Amino acid sequence: MFDNRSLAEASPVPTKSAVQRNRAKCNAPNCTNQAYARNRCMRHGAKKPCVVEHCKASRRFGSYCSKHADVTQKKKCIVDGCDKQPHARGKCVRHGGGRRCKADGCMSHARIGVFCSRHFNMTAVTNLPLGAPSTQPDWLDWAILEDLVDDALSDPLDVMIPALNLYTTWS
């Protein structure tokens, strides 16, 4: 039979940070959990349980857990008939509460930073490391690239690489 305690004791890597190790322990007998409030962990009464019968979840909204909280206590989108939770300006994402992608002409919602997922991926590809130029390549760039490809293809020991279309459009 596998024993988790023996693995944890033998592990050379600490499983808790210095802050976690120095926090107070729960006052309940034989409990080694961290104290959250009133010198108790969540399991032993740091937060009182929901007042709904047979519900053991902790209170989040007054006397109720998030499942049993009064629906009127949760904010709703200001658009009539919409019961979704608002994100910005009192509206849900569908009704204009989200942020738009900052790419020119894009009407998608920003998901990662200020860009939608499509434009975030494009900026990750175009923003190359080591300060690659953001302008279109000029004749000298193409000449250097062609020389490098010719040198690579002329060496008989090199493995043949697929043909490259050197004159692609840059976006």
Tell me which amino acid residue 134 is: S
pLDDT in tens, 96-138: 888 888 888 888 888 778 888 888 777 655 555 555 556 677 7
Locate 169 and state its tokens: 């459009």
Alpha helices in the chain (DSSP H): 4-10, 18-22, 117-126, 139-154
Q: DSSP of 95-114, one letter per residue?
A: TT-SPBP-STT--SBP-BTT
pLDDT for 95: 87
Lowest mean pLDDT, pick from 6-20, 34-48, 74-88, 106-120:
6-20
pLDDT for 1: 45
Alpha helices in 23-138 (DSSP H): 117-126
Please say if the pLDDT value at position 159 is more than 50: no
How many CB atoms are located within 10 Å of the residue 66 CB?
12
C-alpha–C-alpha distance, residues 31 and 40, integer Å: 9
Parse the chain into domains and list their residue ranges: 75-126
| 137 phi/psi in degrees, rounded to 5 | -65, 145
Tell me which amino acid residue 104 is: D
